[in-house]
Structure 1
Amino acid sequence: MLYSSTIKKLSLFTMSIKTDIQKLHNRVDTCQRKLDAARSRGDHEMISKFTDEVEDLTKKLNQLKHKQTYELNKERKSLLDMPFSREITKAEQADIGKLKKRVRGLVIVHPMTKMGKELRLDVMTGFAPKEF
């Protein structure tokens, strides 16, 4: 069974991947601008250098995106494997801390998060190893 502490670790890991993807995007944009400037000057040495760098960065970017989707699917499967899930009522949402203390291993997923969209949720849903 996957408990909330493991989910938090996975979420921290995906945040790292997310920042790495953003940094790589920024580097690709910078290299692309430098490549355009080198093409306008006709500097063949710099053109080949930045072309290789853009290809290398794009390859790394695709690897990270694949890793991110893999981690998201792994987390989604672990939530779906939990034996019990149900909608969180408005009253429970108002005092979510009390609910989390009462139910061990509870994982709450909001429909607007990546995980919520992946699970195609319409309402805030709780997943737990036991009925709550």
Structure 2
Amino acid sequence: MNLKQELQTLNGKLDTFRRKLAAAEQRGDAAIILQFKKEITAMTKRIANVKGQQTRQLNKEGSEVKGLTFKRELTKAEQADMGQLKKSVKGLVVVHPMTALGREMGIKTVTGFAPSEF
């Protein structure tokens, strides 16, 4: 299971625990309330751990992409014919500003990174 899917399932479980906690508080069941509070704290710790893993993974990927020797913004024509561009340039990595990697790197336009000039 990748980190994104795991984070979604953990958030789903956390939401379920919170709803069950609210129902138990409404009933006044002290033992169940205590149990769900423990579950919620454990789940929030696990979610924080997974988010930290995601951040580390993005940082690693961003540093690998920044390590490529050449970068430049892609023109609209190049963006329109991305398949041909990727075939002609070996090792091209295209980063869009709206992806997680693009936001992490602080990119404002679609940028191509490659080991050699293109």
For Structure 1 versus Structure 2, the TM-score category normalised by the shorter chain is over 0.9
SS at match of 1:122: coil
* Pairing partner for 2:68 from 82, 97, 100: 82
Determine the structure 2 residue equivalent to 1:100. 86
Which runs of 5 or more residues in structure 2 are unaligned? none
Which has the bigger relative contact order, CA under 8 A and spacing at least 6? 1
Amino acid at match of 2:21: L
Cα distance in 2 for partners of 1:111, 1:63 equals 26
Q: Could you list the per-position Cα deviations for residues 31-59 of structure 1 after superposition, in whole angstroms to 9, with x for gaps in the alignment?
A: 01111111111111111111111111111
Cα distance in 1 for partners of 2:24, 2:108 equals 50
Aligned length: 118
C-alpha displacement of 1:101: 0.7
Task: Indicate the RMSD between aligned Cα atoms, in angstroms.
Answer: 1.2
Q: Which runs of 4+ in 1 moved over 6 A?
A: none
SS at match of 1:123: coil
Please say if 1:65 is aligned against 2:51.
yes
Q: Could you list the per-position Cα deviations for residues 68-111 of structure 1 after superposition, in whole angstroms to 9, with x for gaps in the alignment?
A: 00000001111111111001111111211111011111000111
Determine the structure 2 residue equivalent to 1:120. 106
Determine the structure 2 residue equivalent to 1:6. none
TM-score (norm 2): 0.95
TM-score (norm 1): 0.85
Percent of counterpart pairs with the same letter? 48
* Pairing partner for 1:52 from 38, 49, 54: 38
